[in-house]
Structure 1
Amino acid sequence: MLIYEYKLDGNTAQYSAIGEAIRITQCIRNKCLRLWMDTRGINRNDLQCYCAELAKAYSFATLLNSQARQSAADRAWAAISRFYEHCRNQKPGKKGYPQFQHDCRSVEYKQTGWRLEPDGKHIIFTDGCGIGRLRLIGCRDLATCPLPQMMRVRLLKRADGYYAQVLVKAERHGEHVPTGKQTGIDLGLKAFLTDAQGNTVANPHHLRKAERKLKRLHRRLSRTQKKSANRKKARKKLAKGYLKVQRQREDFARKTANALITSHDLIAYEHLRIANLVKNRKLAKSISDAAWGRFLQWLNYYGSMHSIPVIAVEPAFTSQDCSACGARVKKSLSVRTHICPSCGVVLDRDHNAARNILEKAYRTVGQTGTGEAQAPPNASGQTASTRSGRRARAGKRAG
């Protein structure tokens, strides 16, 4: 599935109609959630049928397309099913009990309620909300895309305007040119990532750089009177500032992930529990600003698109073990240089970790048979397979 996004060009009345459709979606979603809370044994089909009852009970609900109402019920069921799944899997901590939504920003149409004009640059919404004909601003031409492949259309509100997302049923494949290179990457805060060859990518610090401007916008917002026109303007400027930071993170994550995939045949990374890492009050802002999770999502996406193995390994002792001899060298987080007393290897802490991550990935590939890879020589001139074999023999002698 591919999602094409376009900015919508319309008038004030059309934007108000989109806002009304979004509010109806929020109301239906919350009503379905209330039905689940009050009635035992409700399933997804019951929520779908409940949409028709809501249309009869509330006149404004009939304005929205019937399939768009069902999409709102699907959102409620998605939250419910996720809660059930967390309970079944005994997820530690909060299970994510479904909550009522107060800030819905999108409405989703399925196969009906809209049609695309032959030029591929205009879309018409035919339900009772009165949205009408809108111009699509974007670089992708929908006129060449077969209409049956367009599965859904989502209208969403952002700080800088309204957008349309078209879900197209298609598969994206990329031709990968083999490079003969494999690497492991260690994500960090000083440098965004360090690979097994010692190359680093600088941390962009998007939020830190925009923090001064955002603080000024926050102060300006706090000085305005509530429910005033100036407060709405200040709030919109602040939202645009955060939206810019979000887009900068997204752009950086996509470009960095794509560059890694196209230049390597195998990539290994640490399987980090980011939700647990951000509980550290001193590092939470820096970890969130780095957006490791979004980067790893794009890395796995581009890896599957190019048929490149992207392997997640456990992060245990990757910074403590020596990548040359395997000796465990205890060090605190403030120590940024790895100095091995056994073999004398001196490496940057992240560089040493990246080498260990790559070695773990080689062992994983060898066990699962997902591919063949030849481990490069490490700092001491030994391959990963030789080093692993020596560890095994040493363990037998010790036993």
Structure 2
Amino acid sequence: MIVFEFKAKGTLRQYQQIDEALRITKFIRNKCLRFWMDNQNVKPYDLNKYTAVIANGFDFADKLNSSARQAAAERTAFAIKRFFDNCKAKIPGKKGYPRFQKNNRSVEYKLSGWKLSDDRKYIKFTDKCNIGQLKLIGTWDLHFYQIKQVKRVRIVKRSDGYYVQFCVDAERNIDTQPNGKTIGLDVGLTHFYTDSQGNTVENPKYLRKSEKALKRLQKQVSRKKKGSNNRKKAINRLGRKHLKVSRQRKDNAIKQALCVVRSNDLVAYEKLQVKNMVKNSKLAKSISDVSWSLFTQWLEYFGKVYGRIVVPIDPKFTSQNCSSCGETVKKSLSVRIHICKCGCVLDRDLNASINILNKALKQTNYDLSTVGRTETFNACGEITLYPDLATSLGKVAQ
């Protein structure tokens, strides 16, 4: 499943109607959650049926398309399932008990409630919310896909406007040729990553660079009177700045992951528990800024698309063990040079990346002669392709 995103252009009245649809979606989701809390052994199908009861009991809820109401119920069912899965897996800490939604920023339609124009430049929403026809602004061409391949349509609200996403059920045919290259990646805070060949990519530190502007905008919000239009405008300016930082992070993660996967037959990376690492109050901001999880997610995705082997490796002792002789050399985080009695002197991150690659080679029994083939790969999961990333990714879905 691939998600193509377009900027939606409409009138002020249409934006107000979209906001109304978002509020209805939030209301239905919260009602379904309350229904689950008050009744035992509630199945997802029961929640779907309950949306019809909500529509009959509340006239404003009936304005939203039935498939959109069911999609809101599915969000509740997904949150419930994730909670029970976390309980069964006995993950440490909080298990993610479903909460009532305070702010909703998206409404999702299935196969009904919308209609694409013949030139694929406009979309019309046909339910009683009266959103009407919106212009789609973006570089992606939906003519490559049939209408029946579009399984979901979402309207997403962000600080800089409204967007329409199309979830397309599509296959991508990729011809992979072996190049005989393998690589191990050690991510860090000084460098975005250090590979087993000694190459480094600098950490862009987008949040740190924008921190001064963010503090100024936050100060402007706090000085405005609560509930005033000026405060709403200040909040919007702050939100757009945060949105820019998040997009910079994502764009960098995509470019780096794509470059690594296309250049190597096997990619090994350390699988870090970022959720636990950000509990360190001194490093939490820097760890969040570097976006390790986002980078590794795109590594795995591009590995599936391009038919490359992407291996997550337990980082335990990768920095302590010598990559030359295997001897354990204990050192604190402040020690950045690995010095072993065997005569091996390496940068700490380079030593770790070599250990990560060696672990992956042993774990997968990797053989260069067996890699490099032509197959058809399904793009698993949902990957959002933004219009402003077209130059970096190309139209890979063609």
**TM-score for the superposition, normalised by structure 1:** 0.91
**Corresponding position of 2:209:** 209
2:271, 2:354 → 1: CA distance? 15
**Corresponding position of 2:330:** 330
On the 8 A contact 2:7/2:164 being kept in 1, the answer is yes
**Corresponding position of 2:78:** 78
Are 1:117 and 2:149 matched, yes or no?
no
What's the CA shift string for 1:368-398, capped at 9, x where partnerless? 999679xxxxxxxxxxxxxxxxxxxxxxxxx
On the 8 A contact 1:8/1:136 being kept in 2, the answer is yes
What's the CA shift string for 1:231-258, capped at 9, x where partnerless? 1111110000000000000000000000
SS at match of 1:172: strand
1:95, 1:83 → 2: CA distance? 6
User: Which 4+ stretches in 1 moved above 6 angstroms?
Assistant: 367-370
On the 8 A contact 2:182/2:264 being kept in 1, the answer is yes
Q: How many residues align?
A: 372
**Alpha carbons of structure 1 residues 370 and 72: separation in structure 2 relative to 1, 3 Å:** farther
**Corresponding position of 1:302:** 302
Counterpart residue identity of residue 213, structure 2: K
2:205, 2:173 → 1: CA distance? 32
1:2, 1:80 → 2: CA distance? 25
**Corresponding position of 2:162:** 162
Counterpart residue identity of residue 357, structure 1: I
On the 8 A contact 1:365/1:372 being kept in 2, the answer is no
Counterpart residue identity of residue 259, structure 1: C
On the 8 A contact 1:4/1:167 being kept in 2, the answer is yes
SS at match of 1:59: coil
**Alpha carbons of structure 1 residues 136 and 195: separation in structure 2 relative to 1, 3 Å:** same
Deviation at 1:84, TM superposition (A): 1.1
Q: Which has the higher contact order (CA 8 A, sep 6+)?
A: 2
**Alpha carbons of structure 1 residues 351 and 224: separation in structure 2 relative to 1, 3 Å:** same
**Corresponding position of 2:346:** 347
Are 1:239 and 2:209 matched, yes or no?
no
Question: Structure 1 stretches of 5 or more lacking a match?
Answer: 374-399
**Corresponding position of 2:396:** none
2:299, 2:282 → 1: CA distance? 27
**Alpha carbons of structure 1 residues 261 and 94: separation in structure 2 relative to 1, 3 Å:** same
Question: Structure 2 stretches of 5 or more lacking a match?
Answer: 373-398
**Corresponding position of 2:197:** 197
Counterpart residue identity of residue 148, structure 1: K
1:260, 1:92 → 2: CA distance? 32
1:274, 1:87 → 2: CA distance? 20
What's the CA shift string for 1:49-106, capped at 9, x where partnerless? 1011000100001100001000000001111111111112222221111100001100
1:107, 1:294 → 2: CA distance? 24
The percentage of aligned residue pairs carrying the same residue is 53
2:144, 2:361 → 1: CA distance? 44
On the 8 A contact 2:125/2:133 being kept in 1, the answer is yes
**Corresponding position of 1:358:** 357
2:150, 2:96 → 1: CA distance? 32
1:173, 1:94 → 2: CA distance? 41
**Alpha carbons of structure 1 residues 367 and 249: separation in structure 2 relative to 1, 3 Å:** closer
On the 8 A contact 1:366/1:372 being kept in 2, the answer is no
What's the CA shift string for 1:295-335, capped at 9, x where partnerless? 00000100111110001111111000110111110100000
Larger radius of gyration: 1
Counterpart residue identity of residue 307, structure 1: G
Deviation at 1:141, TM superposition (A): 1.7
Are 1:135 and 2:135 matched, yes or no?
yes
What's the CA shift string for 1:180-234, capped at 9, x where partnerless? 1101000000011000011000000000000010000011111111111111111
